[in-house]
C-alpha cells in the first residue's frame, strides 16, 4: 500500500499540515491502515526531497502547510492511471508458515490448517458483521470505509479457499508431511539465482 501516493493524492485537493493529512487519510480509508504522525512527516520529507511537495507558510497555530508541486500532480495522475503491481514472490506469513511446516519431518499440518481456518472464519464473520461507526454509511466516508472492508472480507474468503486447497493438496501425502531433511550440499555465498517466482 502506497502511503506516499495516497498522501500526494490528498494534497492534490489542497495544502494540508501533517495531522490534517493523517486525519484525511483515515477518513478515506476508514481508519483501517493507521498511520502515525512520524510516518507522515518522514514521507513528506522524502516527497519534498523528490520535488513532489513543498513547504508553505505556517499558520497562527504553528501548523506548517505542505502543498503539491506540478511534478507531484503528475505523479498522482500516473499512480491513479496505473494498475497495482503485485510482487511475483510472497511474503505472506501464512503461506510461508504452512510451506515450512509441511516440510518439517513429523509435523502434521492438519492442526495448523484447522487453527487458521477457525481464525479466518471468525475474522470473516467480524468483517461481515461490522457496521460503519461514523454515522452515514451511504456518505462518501462510509462508502470508502465499506470498500476497504469489502476488500478485507474478499481476501479472507480467498484465504479460506486456499486453506481448503492446501488441505486437499497435502492429503495426497498420507502423513501430511513432505518431510524435507536438511540438505548436505553447502550453499555458495552470495544471493541465490533469480527465479520466476521471486
What would the DSSP string read from start to end of 115-132?
Answer: HHHHHHHHHHHHHHH---
Residue 178, classified by CB atoms within 10 Å of its CB into exposed (0-12), middle (13-18) or buried (19+), is middle
Residue 100 clears pLDDT 80, i.e. is over it: yes
Contact call for residues 21 and 40 (beta carbons, < 8 A): yes
Higher local confidence (pLDDT), 87 or 196: 87
What is the mean pLDDT of the segment spanning 122-142? 90
Looking at residue 198, its pLDDT comes to 47
The three grid cell numbers given for residue 151, joined into one nine-digit string:
476488500
Query: Please, which pLDDT band fits residue 103 given cuts at 50, 70 and 90?
Result: confident
Looking at residue 136, its pLDDT comes to 86
Higher local confidence (pLDDT), 134 or 20: 20
How much is the mean pLDDT over the chain?
87
Looking at residue 87, its pLDDT comes to 77
Contact call for residues 190 and 114 (beta carbons, < 8 A): no
Residue 176 clears pLDDT 80, i.e. is over it: no
Looking at residue 105, its pLDDT comes to 76
Residue 6 clears pLDDT 60, i.e. is over it: yes
What is the mean pLDDT of the segment spanning 94-121? 88
Which range is most confident: 40-49, 103-112, 128-137?
40-49
Residue 16 per-residue DSSP state: B
Amino acid at each position: 500500500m502506497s502511503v506516499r501516493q495516497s498522501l500526494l493524492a490528498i494534497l492534490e485537493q489542497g495544502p494540508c499540515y501533517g495531522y490534517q493529512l493523517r486525519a484525511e487519510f483515515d477518513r478515506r480509508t476508514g481508519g483501517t491502515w493507521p498511520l502515525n504522525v512520524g510516518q507522515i512527516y518522514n514521507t513528506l520529507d522524502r516527497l519534498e526531497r523528490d520535488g513532489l511537495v513543498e513547504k508553505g507558510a505556517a499558520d497562527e497555530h504553528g501548523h506548517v502547510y505542505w502543498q503539491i508541486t506540478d511534478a507531484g500532480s503528475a505523479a498522482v495522475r500516473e499512480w491513479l492511471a496505473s494498475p497495482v503491481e503485485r510482487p511475483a514472490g510472497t511474503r505472506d506469513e501464512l503461506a510461508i508458515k504452512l510451506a515450512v511446516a509441511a516440510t518439517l519431518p513429523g509435523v502434521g499440518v492438519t492442526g495448523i490448517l484447522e487453527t487458521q481456518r477457525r481464525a479466518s472464519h471468525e475474522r470473516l464473520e467480524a468483517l461481515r458483521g461490522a457496521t460503519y461507526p461514523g454515522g452515514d454509511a451511504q456518505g462518501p466516508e462510509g462508502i470508502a470505509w465499506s470498500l476497504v472492508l469489502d476488500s478485507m472480507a474478499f481476501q479472507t474468503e480467498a484465504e479460506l479457499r486456499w486453506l481448503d486447497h492446501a488441505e486437499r493438496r497435502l492429503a495426497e501425502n498420507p502423513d501430511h508431511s513432505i518431510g524435507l531433511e536438511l540438505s548436505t550440499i553447502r550453499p555458495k555465498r552470495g544471493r541465490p539465482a533469480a527465479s520466476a517466482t521471486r
